[in-house]
Each structure stands twice: as C-alpha cells, then as structure tokens.
Amino acid sequence: EPEVTQTPSHQVTQMGQEVILRCVPISNHLYFYWYRQILGQKVEFLVSFYNNEISEKSEIFDDQFSVERPDGSNFTLKIRSTKLEDSAMYFCASSQISGANVLTFGAGSRLTVL
C-alpha cells in the first residue's frame, strides 16, 4: 500500500538553528499538508500546498516557517530559527484531491529543541 514517508523520524536541535523536515507524499496525490502535535496536546493544522504554492495556512505558520516542493517528489517544512516551543511531532499528509478526500499521514518527525 502506498505510504507517505517522513525523515528524519527524530531530530534534536539547538534553539536558533534551522531545521528541515522532509516528506515524500504518495506519487499521484496533488495536495500536501503539514500538521504538528505538541506533546499531550491536539493536532494542529499548519499549512496546505497545491500546485506549487501554499493554498491555506494557519496563524501558527508565521514567517519562521516555509514549505517547498523542490524536486517534484519531496515536500519540505523549514523552520528558520527554532524556538523551544517548536518542539513537537510534525506530520506530513497528502490527498489525491482536496481536503475533502481521505488523507494519508506519514509516521511523523519528532523535533526536540534544546
């Protein structure tokens, strides 16, 4: 069964460092998403991406965050200067059509900022 693949599974970084989280969505999917889940809290929407541009973003997704699809297969989330409160599990997801369709999630990337 097709999977969404995320790397790394766990990253530890120092406050102020840049982090890039990578995702390989399912090949025939057109919509891509990033979500985050701070430990013990609910999942939160960060951003959706379609046709090489952001289609929607939340208030969490400020100037410190950016997304990119650099090579037609990878979908990346960059955090420019990490803060302690960025520590969370970050989930990538993709769907074949818009968000009304079933989402396929990756296993998540755990980010720990020290």
Partner 1 sequence: KNEVEQSPQNLTAQEGEFITINCSYSVGISALHWLQQHPGGGIVSLFMLSSGKKKHGRLIATINIQEKHSSLHITASHPRDSAVYICAVRRGAQKLVFGQGTRLTINP
Binding segment (CB under 8 A) for partner 1, from list 13-21, 49-57, 65-73, 77-85: 49-57
Question: Would you say 9 or 81 has its CB closer to partner 1?
Answer: 9
DSSP state of 73: S
Beta strands per DSSP E along 2-114: 5-7, 10-13, 19-24, 31-37, 44-50, 53-57, 65-68, 75-79, 88-95, 104-105, 109-113
> Under a CB-based contact definition with an 8 Å cutoff, are residues 114 and 14 in contact?
yes
Closest by CA to 30, choosing from 1, 55, 61, 64, is: 55
103 forms part of the interface with partner 1 (CB under 8 A): yes
For residue 61, give both structure tokens.
Answer: 């997704």
**Residues between 54 and 73 with contacts to partner 1, criterion CB under 8 A:** 55-56, 58
Question: Would you say 46 or 113 has its CB closer to partner 1?
Answer: 46
Number of amino acids touching partner 1 (CB under 8 A) = 28
CA–CA gap between residue 88 and residue 52 (Å, rounded): 26
One character per residue 14-33, x = contact with partner 1 (rule: CB under 8 A): -----------------x-x
Binding residues for partner 1 (CB under 8 A): 31, 33, 35, 37, 41-45, 48, 50, 55-56, 58, 89, 91, 93, 98-105, 107-108, 110
